[in-house]
Amino acid sequence: MPLQNQKHLFDIPPEITYLNIASQSPSFKAIYQAGLEGLKQKNLPYTIKISDYFEPVSELKKLFAQLIEAEDYNRITTIPSASYGIATVANNIKLKPGDEILIIDEQFPSNVYSWQKLAKKYDATLKTVHTPKSKTNRAVLWNEAILNAINSKTAVVAMGNIHWSNGALFDLKSIREKTKSQNALLIVDGSQSIGALPFSVKELQPDALICAGYKWLFGPYGCAYAYYGSYFDNGSPIEESWMNRLHSEDFAGLTNYESQYKPLANRYSVGESGNFIYVKMQIAALKQVLEWTPKAIQDYCESISFEAVKKLEKLGCYIEDANSRTHHLFGIELPNELDLQALQKDLLSKNIYVSFRGNFIRISCHLFNTSKDFEPLMACLSKHL
């Protein structure tokens, strides 16, 4: 049975049209209650047990591993941000002069700055695959260009599995095959897809998957997740947290300094990863996302946006072909002559929340939305177009 609208789980007022979860998700009520439980625990610190520093984090890692179909939760780390995860990856890559790091046009800056720094450090080249100018089969042409750009000089391909501003889908399966043939690493930023679009580590085999947690995973701002493959099993973490060493559960023996890390990716977890408030909220969020399932969320978003997309295209807006983009997030490319400032002001005056990315309006919807949420947006756009 298809998923039904879930607005009853949220506290979004009826006069608000919120189509901007790609910027910041609202909390649903179970997350709010979990946060309160964390605050109560902090208020009574004598109730905090040693196991509270570790066991909830293990539960959280298992939930995220289940979501992305990773077989071993010890390959999952909890981190404070996507930039932290990307920096950890870059910190463990050595390049040769002339090597190439491949990124995508107008990639999110947290997935660019670390690569700029790494390229400069090793006298390597940061190579950008630009957006095709054609408005026909743009995503298809873009995927072809990415595959053609991967060659014997390619050491790293760092990209999202969708484009963060317009929802264009990238063919990671083919890209993974090409990177393997060239002995190149594939680093995926899943911040705008994990939780709302099916993703399988088992199938796609990225070397690392980094994901912000405050968007489609409904966590608090300041939490994120990372999956690290075997390439990073013996790497160096950004910080040396005591919690990431073997036997750290033995508080009485903490000054028996331990040289060995916990297995696999645990060395990369952020210090104080046992945050009592955040972890409880994240667990509540992931349990709900897993209950909904990313496939069902994607199907629901397609069903509520289908008619709106057709009408927007008739108004002269360009939206990527439905088979080549996501439905939880998509971009409306506006005519160049449109007064963007006037449109932004008008949208805000009507309590319509979207994102502007260049000449795109980025629409991002979820289970708290219905098809009616697109009506005020289309009425406003019609007036300006």
Cα–Cα dist 233/258, whole Å: 18
Average pLDDT over the chain, rounded to an integer: 95
The secondary structure of 282-347, three-state, reads HHHHHHHHHHHCHHHHHHHHHHHHHHHHHHHHHCCCECCCHHHECCCEEEEECCCCCCHHHHHHHH
Q: What does the domain layout of the chain look like in residue ranges?
A: 7-19+293-384, 39-291
247: buried, middle or exposed (CB in 10 Å: 19+, 13-18, 0-12)? Answer: exposed
State which fold the 39-291 domain adopts. Aspartate Aminotransferase; domain 2 (3.40.640)
Percentage of the chain lying above the pLDDT 90 cut: 91
State which fold the 7-19+293-384 domain adopts. Aspartate Aminotransferase, domain 1 (3.90.1150)
What's the mean pLDDT in 297-317? 94
- pLDDT given at position 74: 98
Q: pLDDT tens for residues 105-132?
A: 999 999 999 999 999 999 999 999 999 9
pTM exceeding the 0.85 threshold for the entire prediction: yes
Percentage of the chain lying above the pLDDT 70 cut: 100
Say yes or no to pLDDT of 335 above 90. Answer: no
Say yes or no to pLDDT of 269 above 90. Answer: yes
Cα angle 58, 69, 111 (rounded to 5 degrees) comes to: 85
Say yes or no to pLDDT of 276 above 80. Answer: yes
What's the mean pLDDT in 135-153? 94
What type of residue sits at position 192? Q
User: What is the length of the chain?
Assistant: 385
pLDDT bracket for residue 358 (50, 70, 90): confident
What's the mean pLDDT in 30-37? 95
Say yes or no to pLDDT of 1 above 80. Answer: no
